[in-house]
Amino acid sequence: MLPNILKKNVAIFITYQIRIWNRNIEAAEKLVTLLISENIKAEVSKSVQEAARDADIINTCTGASTPILKADWVKAGAHINSVGAPRPDFHEIEEDLVRKGIIYTDSRESAENEAGDVIKAGVPVFAEIGEVLLGSKPANKNSLTIYKSLGLAVQDAVTARLVYNMLYENNPL
């Protein structure tokens, strides 16, 4: 999943340097090689701290059950996209870091019931992404912001429909 997220980031931001950390360095090297082969500037970091240092955007996408990203490693004004820890008993972001951030999510109900990091920190969700897109809630660009992604069933349904159409309607067998 992470390669696709990174490519989307690169499509949006013109200047960038991507640093990749994985607990298994060979996996990080493999991803960096893939990104470089697609002309995306990427390099391996030996630690999460090194990867996060001075980063404007941090993407966490792990199956970790204890936090891997700590508050002291993240600069003021950074934005974090947290994709992992989608269960109440899973964590990938340190509690203090979640408390420092303004929390955005795809579904408030899901975040309050499923996102371990949000539940443990006991912080309110500031806005759903839909509210930001509609202009009813601000993006707070200069603050530390955290987008807690959990996925919406409608995304799966629409994707399944697109795949079905490609297979059976646009390209009938």
Ligand X SMILES: NC(=O)C1=CN([C@@H]2O[C@H](COP(=O)(O)OP(=O)(O)OC[C@H]3O[C@@H](n4cnc5c(N)ncnc54)[C@H](OP(=O)(O)O)[C@@H]3O)[C@@H](O)[C@H]2O)C=CC1
- Give the CA diameter of the chain: 55
Of 93, 90, 89, nearest to 78 (Cα)?
A: 93
Which of 6, 19, 22, 126 touches ligand X (CB under 6 A)?
A: 22
Residues 6 or more apart in contact with residue 169 via CB below 8 angstroms = none
Choices 32-40, 73-81, 128-136, 148-156; region in contact with ligand X by CB under 6 A: 148-156
Site for ligand 2PC contains 150 (CB under 6 A): yes
Nearer to ligand X, 29 or 131 (CB): 29
Distance (Å, whole) CA 122 – CA 23: 28
Site for ligand 2PC contains 138 (CB under 6 A): no
Residue type, 134: L
Which of 13, 15, 63, 169 touches ligand X (CB under 6 A)?
A: 63
Which of 31, 48, 86, 101 touches ligand 2PC (CB under 6 A)?
A: 86
Nearer to ligand 2PC, 45 or 107 (CB): 107
Are 96 and 116 in contact, with CB atoms under 8 Å apart? no
Distance (Å, whole) CA 169 – CA 173: 9
Are 42 and 36 in contact, with CB atoms under 8 Å apart? yes
CB of 151 to ligand 2PC, least distance (A): 3
Site for ligand X contains 4 (CB under 6 A): no
Under the rule (CB under 6 A), what is the footprint of ligand X? 1-2, 22-24, 27, 61-64, 68, 83-84, 86, 149-151
